[in-house]
Every structure is written in C-alpha cells, then in structure tokens.
A and B are shown apart, each in its own frame.
Chain A
Amino acid sequence: DTAVSQTPKYLVTQMGNDKSIKCEQNLGHDTMYWYKQDSKKFLKIMFSYNNKELIINETVPNRFSPKSPDKAHLNLHINSLELGDSAVYFCASSPFSGGSSYNEQFFGPGTRLTVL
C-alpha cells in the first residue's frame, strides 16, 4: 500500500554512465515532482509534471531528462553522470497544481545516487 515508491533505493555507478530512476504513485494525484537533496541536506526542486505535462523545469543540466508516461509515473533519466550528481533524489506527488487550493506533497523514500 506504498503511496509513492521509487526504484532503485540505492544506485552506485561510474562517471559517464547513463542511469534512470523510477517513481510511481498510487494516490491518484495529478502532479509529480523531482527534488534533489545534496550532501549538505539541502533540498531543491528539479522538475514538476501535471497530468504528464512539464510545468516546472528549474536550471537543471540538460543531461537530466524527466519522462512521464502517465500521471502515476515520473521517471528521471540522467546521461553522462558526473561526480556532482551524487545526491539523494526524491520523488513527490500532490493532488493538483494551480488554482488557489492547498495541496499537500507526499514524498517517496528517496534514491541515493553515488557516482564514482
């Protein structure tokens, strides 16, 4: 009955490789997010999708490409991995984005990416 799940939980890879992280939510939410938490625990938004449409794209290198095949899934593909990409990546979802009503974000357990 996991609400927001991510796979894998841990990912260790070499510099220059390409890797993907998957996220799935079973809450029926319309909006999904990717956040990055760096080694100093600082959390920052990377992307957001609403009903498969990209609505937030922060200043992230274009080696990062999110893909949303349907509104329950938001995957993150990273090309040509660099040492600085090592971080914990969190997926989150919320009921909707836009309008004036509050919506709570539910977070996945995170994926710890280590680039060697």
Chain B
Amino acid sequence: AQSVTQLGSHVSVSEGALVLLRCNYSSSVPPYLFWYVQYPNQGLQLLLKYTSAATLVKGINGFEAEFKKSETSFHLTKPSAHMSDAAEYFCAVSARAGRRALTFGSGTRLQVQP
C-alpha cells in the first residue's frame, strides 16, 4: 500500500519568496506521484505529475517538483510566490498497476504575505 506524508500543515511566505512544500511517500515500488491545488470552495486541479519520465517535473503556474527515489520525496517548489498561489496543496500517490485510486496527504495550506 502507498502513503504520503506532507510536512507542515501551514506554510507562510512573502510575495516573491521561494515556495517549498514537502512531500514524502512510502511505496514498495516506485509509484505515480501528483500535486493538486485546491482554491477556496473549489475542486482539485492537477499541478503536475511524476510518471517515471524525467525526475524534474514542471507543472502549471510556474510550479515544479523533483522526484528523489533515495529520499522518497517529491517536494513542490516555485521560485517566486504570487498572491494568487494562496491555496491548499495536496500531494497524492497511486499505484502503477491495479488499484488506481489516489491516496492523498493531509494537505498544506500556503499563505502568501504581501
């Protein structure tokens, strides 16, 4: 079974500062990994995904994440935060075969200060 752990339920950064949201996964085999964003009172939107091609994955809105097998991590970064990035971010994992439901982390709320 897969699982993900998101370190830090709340992260606050200043506008223009680096954003780093942490995600570690647990899986017996390399899984598929995802980052989703949820804006207030909205559904989930896929930011980016890792499916075994390049380990550095670029997503929408300037976000990227790096898959590090040795650290079982898939941290999300953005060089310069914008006020519009304020949202809840979820890391998720799924198996590569068979059961394909997503297992989500507990989420990290990103606040961006002016």
Q: A residues within 8 A CB of B60?
A: none
Distance of A47 Cα from B14 Cα, bound (Å): 40
Which of the 9-residue segments B17-25, B44-52, B68-76 touches chain A? B44-52
A40 — nearest CB in chain B belongs to which residue? B106
Instruction: Bin the interface of chain B by size.
Output: 20 to 34
A43 within 8 A of B: yes
Flag if A45 contacts B102 (CB, 8 Å). yes
B108 — nearest CB in chain A belongs to which residue? A41
Please give the distance in Å from B56's CB to the nearest CB on chain A: 17
Flag if B104 contacts A44 (CB, 8 Å). yes
B90 within 8 A of A: yes
A48 within 8 A of B: yes
Distance of A48 Cα from B101 Cα, bound (Å): 8
Flag if B100 contacts A98 (CB, 8 Å). yes
Flag if B101 contacts A56 (CB, 8 Å). yes
Flag if A98 contacts B97 (CB, 8 Å). yes
Flag if B101 contacts A42 (CB, 8 Å). no
Flag if B103 contacts A45 (CB, 8 Å). yes
A31 within 8 A of B: yes
User: What sequence of 0s and 1s flags, for each residue 26-61 of chain A, a beta carbon within 8 Å of any chain B beta carbon?
Assistant: 000001010100001111110010000001100000
Choice from A41, A100, A108 contacting B97 with Cβ under 8 Å: A100
Flag if B99 contacts A56 (CB, 8 Å). yes
Q: B residues within 8 A CB of A94?
A: 100
A110-B104 contact in complex given A99-B97, A104-B49, C-beta closer than 8 Å: no
Interface set of A (CB-CB < 8 Å, partner B): 31, 33, 35, 40-45, 48, 55-56, 90, 92, 94, 97-100, 102-110
Given contacts A94-B100, A109-B42, 8 further A-B contacts (CB under 8 A): A33-B101, A43-B102, A43-B104, A90-B43, A92-B102, A104-B49, A108-B43, A110-B43
Can you list 22 contacts pairing A with B, beta carbon distance less than 8 Å? A33-B101, A35-B102, A40-B106, A41-B38, A41-B88, A41-B106, A42-B104, A43-B44, A43-B102, A45-B101, A45-B103, A48-B101, A90-B43, A90-B44, A94-B100, A97-B99, A99-B97, A102-B49, A102-B96, A105-B102, A107-B45, A110-B43
